[in-house]
Amino acid sequence: MERISWDQYFMAQSHLLALRSTCTRLMVGATIVREKRIIAGGYNGSVSGSVHCIDEGCYVVDGHCVRTVHAEANALLQCAKFGVPTENADIYITHFPCLQCSKQLIQAGIKTVYYQTDYRNNEFAIQLFREAGVEMKKVELDYLAVDTNYQQKKKYVDELLARLEPMMDNKAEVNKLKQQAEQLFPENRKV
């Protein structure tokens, strides 16, 4: 078995962090790394102790949820809170950072921004990264994924099979479809 790369490992950590997101508009995770060691992580969610989007909906102003602290900011703030320096560290983010987070990353001394998904990549953010000497690198996770819709997909496939079964005369074909679905969606697997 071939080991995943460091970049894929840290990006996978960011995807796990994204599963903690409390904003329903976009689940984002961020992992700050120095010398191949994780020093902080964050996900997008509300201020500690405040109402969450998953509880009362997003608070949208000018097309943005203002209830949410972004994943990158949460990771940087975790470092600030515990006195962990971010100078020359790297960050792994599930999505390309917004303009505000990009400026914060530059000010915090982040040297490389690794991201998996292009998301409204702001041209000014890209310009600022280049001016500051911050590298931007896209990380592919083509064979490693965290499926945040696993349960919904399993339910949908189960419903389809239940509808198809009475319409199909070939019981062997029905059993084959059920076995294939079981391989894709084992009963004991969680999200």
- Residues 157/184, Cβ–Cβ less than 8 Å: yes
Can you tell me the distance from the alpha carbon of 28 to that of 92, in angstroms, rounded to the nearest whole number? 11
Can you tell me the distance from the alpha carbon of 2 to that of 144, in angstroms, rounded to the nearest whole number? 12
For 66, the token pair is: 């203002």
Q: Is residue 187 annotated as part of the catalytic site, yes or no?
A: no
Q: Assign 3-class secondary structure to 90-140.
A: EEEEEECCCHHHHHHHHHCCCCEEEEEECCCCCHHHHHHHHHHCCEEEECC
The residue annotated as part of the active site, out of 2, 35, 56, 72, is 72
Beta strands 37-43 and 64-65 are unpaired
Counting Cβ atoms within 10 Å, is residue 43 exposed (0-12), middle (13-18) or buried (19+)?
A: buried
Can you tell me the distance from the alpha carbon of 154 to that of 160, in angstroms, rounded to the nearest whole number? 10
Which residue numbers are catalytic? Answer: 72
